Amino acid sequence: MSFEAVIREQAPQVLGALVRRYGQFDACEDAVQEALLAAAMQWREDGVPDNPRAWLLTVASRRLTDQFRSESARRRREENAVVMAPADELVAPAADELRDPDRDDTLTLLFLCCHPALTAASQIALTLRAVGGLTTAEIAHAFLVPEATMAQRVSRAKQRIKAAGSTFQLPPQAEREERLQAVLHVLYLIFNEGYTATSGAQLHRVELTAEAIRLARALHALLPEDGEVAGLLALMLLIDARRPARTGPGGDLIPLADQDRALWSGAYIKEGVALVTRTLARAPLGPYQLQAAIAAVHDEAPRAEDTDWPQILALYDLLAGVSDNPMVTLNRAVAVAMVRGPQAGLDELSTLDKDERLAGHHRLDAVRAHFQELAGDREAARASYQLAAKRTNSLPEQRYLQARAAHLA
């Protein structure tokens, strides 16, 4: 295992150990980040230590010692500050925590990072930093924003959690299901941004899809009986299986129908199909399970023309009943067009024209252009492709849409 993988695996465990011992999530998270940075520099040269968790706990604890002493000297401690302890006592929990090696705080951290007081953008940033072990610079690079901007976002998120009086424990059962849905949504957003970047020169940001899948695996290990957790992991695997065939040598987008399916990851497809098959047989239906089932139908078709579109449409009908989402309506329209013809698909799209949640989204124009092209209306299709190209900040998508428009000129 690479040292980067070890760091990301250990990050939530070390943070959880410190927060359980000292409280003050914000101070502990800063200390862990400093320890991770130190590890990244030292382990590259010296190799991963025999007990990386103990190493990180010791370094992070010392950082807390320095911080608490500095605050004590400067302000003589505020009434709500952590009581100062000698350095040896602060470092000691490294050994104490190792007595409980099987304790996993990932779920508690995920719930904390997805606190309802935070915006979705803040939840994503804090999850990637606190649970994923990514540095602020890495997160900023992935989302194409300045590091200072991302640092402010993370700092505000931690302050909001502190102001909300959150403690390091799982929320009460009454809140747990709702908070779990927020966790799943955040992981889904992280994956989507990695699979189709909203802006920039690259279509994929593999570090984000890989991290979303890793965290979804960890969540599934903690909640193996939850159908939606299994469904989300299956969905990620089944979609990411197509990534090797999704771009050409120059990074140009290749649509699903034109992809070389021999390049798809058979291992991911096998694992994803098995996951969704098991969960559909025993758990109440949910949107992630249904999306995974749709992805499985696509992935199991040997050729694009072998796709079972009637089955996909039936699954979208079920999905529409449990998820009031314009993207579901848009994707269902594609299935309608493939089963009943392009005009039927265009009729479905007309219901979205006044939906403010999708207003100005390039995918609506792109799908409309595709239907118009299938219907033989080349001029209308060309105009729609051009409009879609103007509305996306993704350079690979722009090039693809402009090429489709040029083809119809």
- Report pLDDT digits (tens) over 195-217: 998 888 899 988 889 989 999 99
User: If you average pLDDT over every residue of the chain, what do you get?
Assistant: 88
- 215-226 pLDDT, tens per residue? 999 999 989 999
Percent of the chain with pLDDT over 90: 54
Determine the 3-state secondary structure of 394 from DSSP. strand
> Between vectors from CA 77 to CA 72 and to CA 79, what angle results, nearest 5°?
165
Is 160 in contact with 115 (CB distance < 8 Å)? yes
Ordered DSSP codes for 128-185? IIIIT---HHHHHHHTT--HHHHHHHHHHHHHHHHHTT--SSPPPHHHHHHHHHHHHH
Query: Cα separation of 161 and 354, whole Å?
Result: 37
Residue 72 is predicted with a pLDDT of: 60
Residue identified by tokens 């990050």 is 11
Exposure b/e, 167-204, CB count within 10 A at least 16 = b? ebeebeeeeeeebbebbbbbbbbbbbbbbbbeeeeebb
Residue 7 is predicted with a pLDDT of: 81
Q: Taking residues 295-320, report their average pLDDT.
A: 97
Least confident of 7-21, 75-89, 158-172, 294-308: 75-89
Q: Taking residues 17-44, report their average pLDDT.
A: 88
- Taking the chain, what is the end-to-end CA distance rounded to the nearest angstrom? 52
Q: Taking residues 161-187, report their average pLDDT.
A: 86
More confident residue, 164 or 313: 313
Confidence class for position 71, pLDDT limits 50, 70, 90 = low
Residue 84 is predicted with a pLDDT of: 42
Q: Taking residues 239-257, report their average pLDDT.
A: 95
Q: Where are the domains positioned within the chain?
A: 1-102, 104-164+173-223, 336-409
What letter does residue 200 receive in the DSSP assignment? E
Residue 102 is predicted with a pLDDT of: 55
Residue 107 is predicted with a pLDDT of: 84
- 276-306 pLDDT, tens per residue? 999 999 989 999 999 999 999 999 999 999 9
pLDDT exceeds cutoff 70 at 406:
yes
pLDDT exceeds cutoff 80 at 339:
yes
Query: Cα separation of 275 and 296, whole Å?
Result: 10
> Quick one: tokens of 265?
């990851």
- In whole angstroms, what separates CA 104 from the centre of its chain? 20
